[in-house]
Amino acid sequence: MTPTQRYLFDLNGYLHLKNVLSGTELKEAQDTVERCIKIPPDQLPHGWNFSFDKSLEALTMHPVTWPIIKELSDDKPRLNRGSLAVDTHEKASITPLHCAREGQGWQTRRYEVKNRRIFCNDIVAFFYFTDVYPGDGGLVVVPGSHKSEFQRPEGLFFLDLSDPNPKLHPALKNITPQAGDVIVLSELTTHGVLIWKPKDRDRRFLLLRYKTQYFQDEQGERYVYGQELLGRLSPETLELMAYASYQHTKEIVKHDVIHLS
Ligand SMILES: O=C(O)CCC(=O)C(=O)O
């Protein structure tokens, strides 16, 4: 991580990285997503859409985000899931604010700073393929909440989850990425999703979830990898997805740039 990224992530609990994808990377990913969303969901491996094409699979270790994932996991990363999201105006409800501390066991998630590096054992990267403009809706976060020590008062932020135009509390921030941008978020940072308002555009992005390689995910059973999925992936990605002991160092973390073979 650069000193600026480290400062901002520590301050806010997330990073908004602009123009991460080159023009070619973005176009290839957009074309892939267009093809992928035409396939009936029951014919795609649930939660694993990133395996659909190398243009998406390569994003799991993109040269801009990979050093960040390595630092946050203290060089012990595991890709836990990679799914596409397409958000349209038809979803008529706000996704309530949530974070991994609530409902998944506050004891299980950590955010620490040690030896001038940040450690975080539950990370998500959102790769955006379409633009979000102020007023559209989409992701909202409570900046700084990854360090919050108090329970969030019930009903503080959203009272009516069907309201497409809620008045945002000043502690909330609506994030408006452009296509090619990436949001890296600690799952300890409280976040939710406003109703998507545009009728002529949707919000498309890839969610890549990372844990430490020795963290036993509470949803692991739901997302067992089928042979069909595993057969499509490159050895580097399979290594990224592998559980391993705390002592083990994966070959992929020794490199900042990974080429999928
Ligand atoms: O739709 C989004 O932008 C965020 C999704 C979300 O809340 C999550 O992955 O935990």
- Say yes or no to pLDDT of 46 above 80: no
Is 102 a member of any domain? no
Ligand 1 centroid distance, CA of 139 (Å): 7
For 77, the enclosing helix (H) or strand (E) is strand 77-87
Q: Which residues pair with 206 in a beta bridge?
A: 84, 127
- Residue nearest to ligand 1 atom 6, measured at CA: 192
CB burial readout 176-210, b (16+ within 10 A) else e: bbebbbbbbbbbbbbbbbbbbebeeebbbbbbbbb
Ligand 1 binding pocket includes 99 (Cβ within 6 Å): no
pTM: 0.95
- Say yes or no to pLDDT of 233 above 60: yes
Query: CA-based angle 99:105:107, to the nearest 5?
Result: 110
Q: In the prediction, which pLDDT does 200 show?
A: 95
Q: Which of 140, 172, 191 to mutate to test the pocket of ligand 1 (most atoms within 8 A of CB)?
A: 191
CB burial readout 101-129, b (16+ within 10 A) else e: beebeeeebebeeeeeebbbbbbbbbbbb
Q: In the prediction, which pLDDT does 159 show?
A: 76
Q: Find out whether 157 and 169 touch, Cβ atoms under 8 Å.
A: yes
Identify the band that residue 60 occupies on the pLDDT scale cut at 50, 70 and 90.
Answer: very high
For 84, the enclosing helix (H) or strand (E) is strand 77-87
Is 166 a member of any domain? no
pLDDT tens-place string over residues 131-144: 999 999 999 999 99
CA 258, CA 57: separation in Å to the nearest integer? 11
Is 112 a member of any domain? yes
Ligand 1 centroid distance, CA of 55 (Å): 22
Ligand 1 binding pocket includes 139 (Cβ within 6 Å): yes
**Nearest ligand 1 atom, CA 124:** 9
CA 78, CA 209: separation in Å to the nearest integer? 9
Is 43 a member of any domain? yes
Tokens linked to 66: 């990979």
**Nearest ligand 1 atom, CA 85:** 1
pLDDT tens-place string over residues 79-124: 988 989 999 999 889 999 999 988 778 889 999 999 999 999 999 9
- Say yes or no to pLDDT of 172 above 90: yes
Is 136 a member of any domain? no
Q: How many domains does the chain have?
A: 1
Ligand 1 binding pocket includes 209 (Cβ within 6 Å): no
Is 142 a member of any domain? no
Ligand 1 binding pocket includes 76 (Cβ within 6 Å): no
Ligand 1 centroid distance, CA of 97 (Å): 10
- Residue nearest to ligand 1 atom 7, measured at CA: 192
Q: Which of 136, 188, 193, 205 to mutate to test the pocket of ligand 1 (most atoms within 8 A of CB)?
A: 193
CA 118, CA 141: separation in Å to the nearest integer? 20
| E-state strands within the chain | 14-17, 77-87, 95-98, 111-114, 117-120, 122-128, 138-141, 173-174, 182-186, 191-194, 203-212
| CATH code, domain with 20 | 2.60.120.620
**Nearest ligand 1 atom, CA 138:** 3
Q: In the prediction, which pLDDT does 138 show?
A: 97
Is 146 a member of any domain? no
- Say yes or no to pLDDT of 218 above 70: no
Q: In the prediction, which pLDDT does 220 show?
A: 55
Residues in CB range of 12: below 8 A, 6 or more apart? 141, 143, 144, 189
Q: What is the mean pLDDT of residues 146-170?
A: 90
Is 140 a member of any domain? no
Q: Which of 95, 101, 172, 194 to mutate to test the pocket of ligand 1 (most atoms within 8 A of CB)?
A: 95
Ligand 1 centroid distance, CA of 141 (Å): 10
- Expressed as residue numbers, the domain containing 18 is 3-88+107-131+176-187+202-254
